Structure 1
Amino acid sequence: MMISIRAITRTHSNFKICLLRQFSSQIQTVPLEFDKYEPPLRDPSAPPIVFLHGLYGHKTNNRTASRKLAKILGNDVYCLDLRNHGISPHTKRHDYPAMAADVERFCEEHGLEKAIMMGHSMGAKCAMAVALRRPDLTSMLISIDNVPCRNDRAEREFMDFSEYAQILDYITTRTTPFAFTTIKQADDELAKYESNALVRKFLLSNIIRDQHVLQTHPNDPHALVLKSKIPLDTIYDHMVDIRGWPFSDDDTFEKRSLFIKADHSPFVSEEEIPMIKQHFPNYDFVSMNSGHWVVTEKPDEFVHVVSTWIKEGIDK
């Protein structure tokens, strides 16, 4: 009996998905918080977008771009809080298989089939992980300034990311000679290490003032008023996992993929294109005149690039 190569490939792919589902069942997933942006006029042919933020981010970071994409494309856009971020649950494990398993659970529970997986930075690697693990849940992939390999060229940036966790921990735990009590005080302290006001504002969106402490200890200079919404120790301890890439060269996603490179960022280089091609052979590559924070720095250009690329895929 003759068996076609296509049939063998399909059987292998289905077997791989079954194995990944079995493996995912061994990961303790968490339910993810989300915001949903609906279009004023729905296009039934447009698949939903699952938008994943980067390290220290949360679901509100990309709300402006998400509203615009929903309006232009006529689809639903789901912005998720990944584990240990935003208001999603905290857990000691923080690596890409676990983050991907959370997103896969979210898609299954919300009936999202063939979603467009899109993410920035850490969220980009999570989106890639979902595409590789569960191509049955993924119609397209969009990676914003990250690559499917260890980020060797971004060593300085990951040193900064680790330092941010330490500084935010200091801001929320120092009691002598006095505790920090206002976001302005926290910003002044953070400014000693980070000169970019937009980055500081982004980081400090993870810090809140504890109203209960303010009410119960109104005149106590040592009371810990400022609290971190995210588990800084867990993030610091897993920086190697966040920088890394746990998948083998044999893991591939054959559907359309878009890789957006920020020209003024070390996260993506021409030398890493072979790794993109290895895992995502059906890829397009776009460069933008931006730093690493693409969605914030170039919002209109970003929406144009992404919406145009998605429309091309839907129309084919």
Structure 2
Amino acid sequence: MLRALGFPRCPLRCPRVSRRSFADQAATPVPVSYCVFDGASTQPPLVFLHGLFGSKGNFASLAKEIVRRSGRKVLTVDARNHGDSPHHPLMTYEAMSDDVHLLLLQLHLERCVLVGHSMGGRTAMAVALRWPELVERLLCVDISPRGPSAVSKFHPLVEALKAVELPEGVPLSTARRLAQEQLRNTIQDPPILQFLLTNLVSSEGRIVWRVNLDAVSRHLDGLMHLPDFQASYLGPVLFLGGAKSPYISSEDFPDIERLFPEAEIEYIPDAGHWVHADQPQHFVAAVCRFMEQPPP
């Protein structure tokens, strides 16, 4: 029933995966990069999946706090074309869920708690719907299966990032300042601009975008909604929205209830789309409450 409710060095492991072309392996999962925050509990670990333009580092401080409060191990994962994961021309929810499935198999995780924000939330939904036996419970942060379309907003943003021109040989701090000057007319929200600039990194003596903008641009339309699924996931699900965000509305409830009949919906006050950044303590508390619910 759908119910709407109002790095320590030792435990951290971040394997880097070399970037290469996977054009000839379009249907093959890629080995994504991840970090592990160890906990003493033998209960299923949490696996965090980030949103568009994000990376596994977005959840580092939250992962430590959840380990401290729950004892569970936490993994944070870079999606393909993001962070330290490989670049690949294919970027769909089917492909990204294949990557997560491969990671769970490689780590011999028989069950996990999937937590995904935005794009990562829809990836987590796809994993739960395709391999429900691997998902103890599912938490989707400020995203629904088919929420409001934002393609018209994202296409100009991606094109603006691709158009940034930087001189060779400048340090990263200078490059980010120059990029900021070129982008501020298109991206007028300072926090969003600063967040996007974290994707500008130094690699092999060059300043590059670590997010694969070509792949994002090519698949952006498809990322605005979950593919059609006929099956349902019958485990516990929490849709955790920001009270100031439009991404989970009453118009989404029928799709949520059809795909996730045991779902609850909760909104965190004074939070926008980045719920975990706007209200981190409330976010951690909600995650821990959800994990403490009795198993189905």
TM bucket (normalised to shorter chain) is: 0.7 to 0.9
Is contact 2:44-2:72 (8 Å) kept?
yes
Runs ≥4 in structure 1, deviation > 6 angstroms?
A: none
The residue aligned with 2:11 is none
Is contact 2:126-2:226 (8 Å) kept?
no
How far is 1:210 from its partner?
Answer: 5.3
How far is 1:313 from its partner?
Answer: 3.3
Where in structure 2 are the equivalents of 1:139-158 lying within 5 Å? 139-149=136-146, 151=147, 153-155=148-150, 158=151
The residue aligned with 2:81 is 84
Deviates more, 1:93-102 or 1:259-268: 259-268
Aligned with 1:198 (options 166, 187, 191): 191
Deviates more, 1:259-268 or 1:47-56: 259-268
Is contact 1:172-1:227 (8 Å) kept?
no
Where in structure 2 are the equivalents of 1:189-268 lying within 5 Å? 189-209=182-202, 212=205, 226-248=207-229, 250-268=230-248
| CA 204–309 in structure 1, closer or farther in 2 if over 3 Å, else same | same
> Per-residue displacement from partner, 1:130-173 (whole Å, max 9, x unpaired)?
00000111110000011112x3x243xx3332222111111147
Amino acid at match of 1:280: F
The residue aligned with 1:110 is 107
Question: How does the TM-score come out when normalised to structure 2?
Answer: 0.85
SS in 2 for 1:313: coil
The residue aligned with 1:271 is 251
How far is 1:181 from its partner?
Answer: 5.5
How far is 1:267 from its partner?
Answer: 1.2
Q: RMSD in angstroms over aligned alpha carbons?
A: 2.0
The residue aligned with 2:284 is 303
How far is 1:211 from its partner?
Answer: 6.2
Instruction: Specify every segment of 5 or more residues in structure 1 that has no aligned partner in the other structure, as ranges.
Output: 1-24, 214-225
The residue aligned with 1:35 is 35
Where in structure 2 are the equivalents of 1:154-193 lying within 5 Å? 154-155=149-150, 158-172=151-165, 182-193=175-186
Amino acid at match of 1:135: P
How far is 1:99 from its partner?
Answer: 0.3
How far is 1:182 from its partner?
Answer: 1.8
The residue aligned with 2:10 is none
Amino acid at match of 2:60: R
Greater relative contact order (Cα < 8 A, sep 6+) = 2
| CA 167–258 in structure 1, closer or farther in 2 if over 3 Å, else same | same
How far is 1:196 from its partner?
Answer: 2.2
Deviates more, 1:99-108 or 1:68-77: 68-77
Aligned mates of 2:90, 2:204 — CA distance in 1: 29
